[in-house]
């Protein structure tokens, strides 16, 4: 894929999709900045695995939903790498709440985590790509923004906003050789962990996974590695004429 020696930042890459994307890029010779919000041990484990593949990797601990921490992240990344070439905005949460019972704090947390973080990171890091007239941005979102999943009003708003943001970034930066695409995973083998936010999925929809799995023509959940493979392709030279697109990785559950 002609990516050897480039630098990528993958947000939320201590586990699941983020860790799989980091690994997929490292397999192509990409050096990776691993990012975690707080789980330093997980991030260090990913860094060790990546360096074992023969690439450079480092860990930056930052909450990318916080603009001040993103500015600090940007300074550290610039110092360590000279500026990244690839940005994968993977951070996101998808809790369920009844709309009428959603608090201001819950709404704010979901929007900041799943949408604002992508804006903060692109704003902070795109200059190096503009200067090099080459860059790849991949926003990992979800299907809620396309279908408006029940009990996920905040998540649907965030993920729908990410679609529009992706298209706007694609339009603004295409002249600089920068692409921006949105990857929307479907039902995956590993569900979201929820160590720091409230989620009422168990009470509101205890059969959530079974019902959604019944809607997958492929007859199985997907894997983080399958999502990562699509992200890695979109970061490649081969995808240089693909921009502003939403790519669903969902086993045929939904089409756009």
- What pLDDT is recorded for position 212? 86
Going from the N-terminus, what domains does the chain have, and what CATH number goes with each?
Answer: 7-249 (3.40.50.720)
Give tens-digit pLDDT for 35-55. Answer: 999 999 999 999 999 999 999
Give tens-digit pLDDT for 120-166. Answer: 999 999 999 999 999 999 999 999 999 998 999 999 999 999 999 99
Radius of gyration of the CA atoms of the chain, in A: 17
Residue, of 147 and 116, whose pLDDT is higher: 116
Q: Are 173 and 122 in contact (CB under 8 A)?
A: no
Give tens-digit pLDDT for 55-84. Answer: 999 999 999 999 999 999 999 999 999 999
Cα 219 to Cα 113, 211, 222, 251: the distances in Å are 31, 12, 10, 8
- What pLDDT is recorded for position 253? 93
With bands split at pLDDT 50, 70 and 90, how would you rate the model's confidence at 192? Answer: low
Token output for 68: 């001040």
Residue, of 225 and 196, whose pLDDT is higher: 225
Q: Are 64 and 91 in contact (CB under 8 A)?
A: yes
Distance CA 154, CA 241 (A): 32
With bands split at pLDDT 50, 70 and 90, how would you rate the model's confidence at 208? Answer: confident
Q: Is the pLDDT score of 196 beyond 80?
A: no
Q: Is the pLDDT score of 191 beyond 70?
A: no
Q: Are 34 and 58 in contact (CB under 8 A)?
A: yes
- What pLDDT is recorded for position 80? 96
Q: How buried is 86 (Cβ within 10 angstroms: 0-12 exposed, 13-18 middle, 19+ buried)?
A: buried
Mean pLDDT of 85-94: 97
């Amino acid at each position: 894929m002609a990516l050897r020696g480039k630098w990528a930042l993958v947000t939320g890459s201590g586990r699941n999709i983020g860790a799989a994307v980091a690994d997929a890029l490292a397999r192509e010779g990409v050096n990776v900045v691993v990012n975690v919000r707080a789980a330093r041990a997980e991030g260090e484990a990913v860094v060790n695995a990546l360096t074992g593949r023969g690439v450079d990797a480092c860990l930056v601990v930052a909450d990318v939903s916080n603009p001040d921490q993103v500015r600090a992240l940007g300074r550290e990344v610039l110092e360590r790498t000279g500026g990244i070439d690839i940005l994968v905005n993977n951070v996101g949460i998808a809790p369920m709440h009844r709309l009428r019972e959603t608090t201001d704090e819950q709404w704010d947390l979901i929007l900041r985590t799943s949408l604002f973080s992508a804006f903060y990171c692109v704003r902070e890091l795109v200059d190096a790509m503009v200067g090099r007239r080459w860059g790849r941005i991949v926003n990992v979102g979800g299907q809620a923004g396309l279908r408006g999943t029940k009990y996920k009003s905040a998540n649907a708003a965030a993920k729908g906003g990410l679609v529009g943001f992706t298209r706007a970034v694609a339009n603004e930066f295409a002249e600089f050789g920068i692409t921006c695409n949105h990857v929307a995973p479907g039902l995956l083998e590993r569900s979201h962990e929820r160590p720091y936010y409230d989620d009422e999925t168990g009470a509101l929809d205890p059969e959530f996974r079974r019902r959604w799995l019944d809607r997958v023509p492929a007859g199985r959940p997907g894997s983080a590695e399958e999502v990562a493979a699509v992200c890695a392709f979109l970061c490649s030279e081969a995808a240089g004429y693909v921009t502003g697109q939403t790519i669903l990785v969902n086993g045929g559950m939904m089409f756009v």
